Structures are given as structure tokens and as C-alpha cells.
Amino acid sequence: MATVYGKRLSRREIAARVGDVSQIARVKLHRMSDGFEDGVTAADVITGSGFQYTVVTARGLDISSASHCGRSLCWRSAQGDRHPAYYEPEGLGWLRGFPGGLLTTCGLAWMGAPDFDAGVDLGLHGRYSNTPATEVSACGTWIGDEYALIVRGTVRESVVFGENIVLRRTITAMMGESRFTIEDEVTNEGFSATPHMILYHVNLGFPIVDAGSRVVVPASITEPRDEEARLGGEDWMAIEEPVPGYKEKVYFHTVDPDPQGHALVAVVNPKLDGGLGAYVRYSPEQLPHLVQWKMMSAGTYVVGLEPANARVMGRSKEREAGRLRHLEAGETRHYQLEIGVLEGAAAVELLG
């Protein structure tokens, strides 16, 4: 049964109260039509709990916006939902099309800093988020007395004489809940081994990110990326006021799994509505590296919590460090994440 507006209701009891279930929860495909967003396809999902988000099918089924009861959960950049036709792959050009949003996926053959590896120039964070999905479907469906909101699609990263990697993604939310799961199946459909790097760039923003908010990461090891991150590194979990000209700090966390094999990381604002936060639950076995992006700059005021299968130093450096993973011909890897909202006591208790 679904919990809707404080009531536990069966399918029949909900049907008795609404003309169509979309009165409470729905998923709807649409196309944007203005400026750099013209032609971008997406799916809006509303769960009926006050939680809603947009899946951008034109950009790898990433999540460009999300809110809960009218409060944004994520940071969004000035670029907006820019069409992938404007992608600039060289060097740091990726940043000109980076929307921020709740989730930007980086990969699949490489991610991280611009690099030169195996005779190829590699731009920042790879091609994934600028690749449209195919075989897209979006639906709401009853599963017994539960109503599921599902968006699916396929993203292929391929090049003649090179990699042929396919990601099949399913995003599922349930009526009455304030969370969704992402299930990714990544397959090497080529006939030789290929490097495989993936990072889930979750970008949390105001009002969850605000002075006095805290980053919650139960890390057993925390390492700064560079000297800039080392300065003030003891306060990696603290959120300050936005400052013009702030230089980003990046930390690498090792998070041990709980008895169920998961890790839960979050940003929590204990002063907002009695406690409000957003969390990411993932498998450290699948994604052993948690990258934290702390950016307290005016206009770019964001905390990134980014589970990954490597660090972000560049593919050649990951290769040298022994962290670079490969997919053998025909091999498939599975990744699963849950992203959701923490309210009231659940949020405050996470702070310990």
C-alpha cells in the first residue's frame, strides 16, 4: 500500500478518490524549446510526496533538477539544460555545458581531469552526459498496491577502432516516497578489453547547502586531492557562507560498507524546517571511491558527493596508480544508487 498525504491506501482506495492516478503521481515526457535548451527531451516525475525531479533523456538520463515541497535539493549552473549539440569535448570545455543538477554522470571510458592516455586526448569527465539516450520509455505502473514511476533508456559510447560501451539505466520511484533508485547495467559490446571509468556527480545546493549545514560521510580514510584541499582540510565537513573567488577543495573518502553492503552519505541542514537533508546510498564494493567536491564560491555554491570506481586525477594517472578498471569483451558491471530526502528527526539523527 502507498502512503499518500498521511493515509495508507490500497490501489482500490486510491482509485475511489481520484479520476486518474496522475492527480497524485505521474511521469510525463516533454521537449524543451528555448535557447540552448531547444530540442532537449526530458521526463518530469512527481511522486505525490512533494518530491519531484526531471530526467533529461537527451543527456544520458541524468537528473537536471529536483525539489521537495518547493525546496530545491540541488545546485544548478547558469548553463541550464543545454542541448548536447553544443558539447565542447576538448580540455575543460565540458564545463560550458555542465548543468549541475542533482546528477551528472561522468564516464564511460574515462572521467576526471583532462588527460592524454593511450594516444588519445581526453577532455574533462568524458562524453556520457552529452550523449542522448535511445530506447527511452517512461511509465507509471501498478505493482500490486504500489505504484511505480519508471524511466528507462540506453546510452552507447562508441568509436570506430575503439570502445563500444553500452549503459542501460532504469530510474524508479514509488508513489508517496521521497527517493528514487538508479540501476545501471554497463556492458562492453566490443571484442577487446576497454578502460571503464564512471562517477556519479551528485550536486547538492541551497537551501540544504547553507552556512551551518554539515557533510555526513562515515569515512575510515580521508585524503585531500592537493595542497589547496589540505589547507583547512580538517573542516571538510563544514559548510560556510558563499565567498567570491573561493578555490574548490576536493577530498577522497574511503567509506566502509554497513552490514547490508551499503554506504550512506549526505548533506544536512539542521536549521531548515527542523532538519532537512539529501542523501546518497551506494555500494562501496561497486564504487570504492567517494569524491567530495566542496565549492563555497558565490554563484557556484555546491557540495558534490560523487561515488566512483576511480579517482578524478586523469586516466593515465589512474592507470599508473593501479586504480584504472577495465571491461573485458562481453563483460557487464552493475551499479545501484538511491538518492532521497531526509526530514526532521531522520536528518538530525544522522548528524549524531
Per-residue pLDDT of the chain (352 residues; tens, 9 = 90+): 899 999 999 999 999 999 999 999 999 999 999 999 999 999 999 999 999 999 999 999 999 999 999 999 999 999 999 999 999 999 999 999 999 999 999 999 999 999 999 999 999 999 999 999 999 999 999 999 999 999 999 999 999 999 999 999 999 999 999 999 999 999 999 999 999 999 999 999 999 999 999 999 999 999 999 999 999 999 999 999 999 999 999 999 999 999 999 999 999 999 998 999 999 999 999 999 999 999 999 999 999 999 999 999 999 999 999 999 999 999 999 999 999 999 998 888 888 7
Q: Is the dihedral of CA 9, 13, 18, 21 positive or negative?
A: positive
Residue 2, beta-bridge partner list: 9
- Kindly state the cell numbers that stand for 319: 592507470
User: HEC profile for the chain?
Assistant: CEEECCEEECHHHHHCCCCCHHHCCEEEEEECCCHHHCCCEEEEEECCCCEEEEEEHHHCCEEEEEEECCEECECECCCCCCCHHHCCCCCCHHHHHCCECCEEEEEECCCCCCEEECCEEECCCCCHHHCCCEEEEEEEEEECCEEEEEEEEEEEEECCCCCEEEEEEEEEEECCCCEEEEEEEEEECCCCCEEEEEEEEEEECCCCCCCCCEEECCEEEEEECCHHHHCCHHHCCECCCCECCCCCEEEEEEECCCCCCCEEEEEEECCCCCCEEEEEEECCCCCCEEEEEEEEECCEEEEEEEEECCCCCCHHHHHHHCCCEEECCCCEEEEEEEEEEEECHHHHHHCC
Domain coordinates of the chain in residue numbers?
Answer: 2-350
Please report the pLDDT score of residue 347 as a whole number. Answer: 81
Please report the pLDDT score of residue 287 as a whole number. Answer: 98
Q: Beta 51-56 vs 332-343: how paired, if at all?
A: unpaired
* CB distance 266 to 218 below 8 Å: no
* CB distance 174 to 47 below 8 Å: yes
Q: Beta 7-9 vs 194-204: how paired, if at all?
A: unpaired
What's the CA gap between 324 and 66, in Å, rounded? Answer: 32
Please report the pLDDT score of residue 269 as a whole number. Answer: 97
* CB distance 263 to 281 below 8 Å: yes
Please report the pLDDT score of residue 348 as a whole number. Answer: 81
What's the CA gap between 51 and 35, in Å, rounded? Answer: 27
Q: From the options 2.70.98.10, 3.40.50.2300, 3.20.20.410, 3.40.50.920, give the CATH code of 2-350.
A: 2.70.98.10
What's the CA gap between 71 and 276, in Å, rounded? Answer: 10
What's the CA gap between 296 and 232, in Å, rounded? Answer: 13
Q: What angle do CA 338, 106, 260 make, to 5 degrees?
A: 30
